[in-house]
Amino acid sequence: MTEVAYVVEYDGGYDDRSEVVFARNPMEARRLGANELDAEEESCTFRRAPEFDGCASHDELRQAQLDAGWWFTCGYCERHVAVGDTYFAGENEDEEYEFEPVLWGDVYCNGWHAGADAVDHVVRRIRSWEGAEAAIERFPGAVIERVNPNTFHHERRNELVATVEFRVPPEFQFVFWWQVGDNSLTMSALAQQEWSGYRHWLKEHRERSEQA
């Protein structure tokens, strides 16, 4: 049997959410929907939604949802966006505009917000990449676990920097956190022991490569 569209709704009191999923039967729809909505299956209801059956792509589905009166949160400013809704902007926030939602993977208030989000993505990617590079250079042999490009600097609190999570040889047991550019690392007492092991490993490693 082919997949058809269902609307799955999560009733969370103040936090109602719905999503359209494509499934072979109602049980599958509820399972997929609960997963999409990050909710328990038992708290979700579903209905068949033939109006979305023909949607072949994500953008096509979003457009059909907008046309059917659904609202979304803008992928950039998180404002509610729906066709025909208005918002206030301008110098005194007194000029009324009608939303012209733009689809670009996510739904955005307007083209400007879609563009600004794309720029943000690039900035985060560059920050992640630079962070990983800096950590590899500073902690030779380290294995990068994760880079979070958007963390507030622990002292200059309005500055966003990358935090790198990594493990070190020879044990690779604990995860260490380093904010790019910092002169210190924070670690537990147990991890401190491993850190001295790493310093020792590094020293031996350097001596060996100097002899070679």
Q: Is 164 exposed, middle or buried (0-12, 13-18, 19+ CB in 10 A)?
A: buried
CB of 95 to Zn ion, least distance (A): 16
Say how far apart CA 153 and CA 134 lie, in whole Å.
Answer: 16
Task: Read off the tokens for 206.
Answer: 């350097």
Binding part of the chain for Zn ion, among 97-105, 111-119, 136-144, 168-176 by CB under 5 A, reads 111-119
CB of 96 to Zn ion, least distance (A): 16
Q: Any contact of residue 77 with Zn ion (CB under 5 A)? A: yes
Q: Any contact of residue 107 with Zn ion (CB under 5 A)? A: no
Q: Any contact of residue 113 with Zn ion (CB under 5 A)? A: yes
- Between the alpha carbon of residue 203 and those of residues 79, 155, 169, 207, the distances in Å are 54, 31, 12, 6
- Contact residue for Zn ion among 49, 74, 102, 135 (CB under 5 A): 74
Angle at 186 between CA 139 and CA 147, to 5 degrees: 55
CB of 83 to Zn ion, least distance (A): 14
Q: Supply the DSSP symbol for 186.
A: B
Binding part of the chain for Zn ion, among 20-28, 93-101, 113-121, 190-198 by CB under 5 A, reads 113-121
Q: Any contact of residue 103 with Zn ion (CB under 5 A)? A: no
Binding part of the chain for Zn ion, among 28-36, 75-83, 117-125, 190-198 by CB under 5 A, reads 75-83
CB of 7 to Zn ion, least distance (A): 25
Say how far apart CA 56 and CA 76 lie, in whole Å.
Answer: 25
Say how many C-beta atoms besides its own lie within 10 A of residue 170's C-beta: 14
- Contact residue for Zn ion among 76, 166, 177, 178 (CB under 5 A): 76
The residues of the shown chain that bind Zn ion, judged by CB under 5 A, are 74, 76-77, 109, 113
